[in-house]
Chain A
């Protein structure tokens, strides 16, 4: 039986440094800078978030499927309003379409949707 374990989530973006710093500041996860300008978030031995530069990056058009989001990250937060304000200060925006009161759909600085969800 081949053993398969989850290693990382890779996020496409136009500028890895900028987006890695955004998610670092949002979550407090430790950031590592690798040779060749690669950035990762997370502790060693745990599932990490990688940031992958792509030429001609085009953000999702969520909620339309013209360019769907394909995937998004969810964050549990203890204070939803404070977390939204902090995310906005870091460069996120609230999505025009909201789908519930206990969580907020946000767009990161390059347009990937992510959710902040009240944890209690």
Chain B
């Protein structure tokens, strides 16, 4: 655990250098926002810079999500959004004795899951399954529930047509 965390945060330091460069180049913001907590009158700035996912095989799971999202993994991480204060990255953190969620039971809950919007549900579903995902619930029209190859639930959500 310590070794993997160390590797992850080494990458984080590289990111923070890059972050400053991105600041001057990008004009839009994502979920990571530098903000002062004005309401509390305390100057603390925090933004979401990463989401780390536990898994038994970092390379395999980063390849899965990379292929699903058409994003090339870098150091077994994926940059899923870029913003003027920095990138938002997903990291795949290999842990010993990994135990997959037992969702929907709370024996080992999922704790967090991802929603991924798709323009073509049928094509995206076929692609996800071909990459190793398992369809567990397609009872809703607007989203279908899958397990990734390490057993984390995630949803493919039909893109809103605005109608």
Contact = CB atoms under 8 A, between A and B. Distances in A.
B43 A82 contact: yes
A33 to B, nearest CB: 17
A7 B101 contact: no
B113 A25 contact: no
Given A27-B48, A117-B12, A10 B113 contact: yes
Nearest to A23: B48
B116 interface: yes
Interface string B3-22: 00110010011001001000
Contact of A7 (B9, B44, B116, B123): B116
Nearest to A58: B106
Contacts, number: 201
By size class, the interface of chain B is 35 or more
Given A3-B119, A6-B116, A74 B108 contact: no
A77 B46 contact: yes
Given A46-B29, A99-B2, A57 B109 contact: yes
B111 A120 contact: no
Given A4-B70, A12-B111, A70 B54 contact: yes
| Interface of chain B, main secondary structure | mixed
Interface in A83-112: 83, 86, 99-100, 102-103, 112
Interface string A9-42: 1111000000000000111110000000000011
Interface of A: 1-12, 25-29, 41-43, 46-50, 54-58, 60, 63, 65-79, 82-83, 86, 99-100, 102-103, 112, 115-117, 119-120
Given A57-B106, A82-B42, 13 more contacts: A2-B119, A5-B118, A9-B51, A28-B33, A48-B31, A56-B106, A73-B52, A74-B52, A77-B44, A79-B44, A103-B12, A117-B9, A117-B12
Interface of B: 1-2, 5-6, 9, 12-13, 16, 19, 29-37, 39-40, 42-54, 68-70, 80-81, 83, 86, 88, 95-99, 101, 106-120, 123-124, 127, 152, 156-157
26 contacts: A2-B119, A2-B123, A4-B69, A4-B70, A4-B117, A9-B113, A12-B109, A12-B113, A28-B33, A43-B29, A46-B83, A47-B31, A49-B48, A50-B115, A56-B106, A57-B106, A58-B106, A67-B108, A67-B109, A70-B110, A70-B152, A71-B54, A79-B44, A99-B1, A99-B5, A102-B13
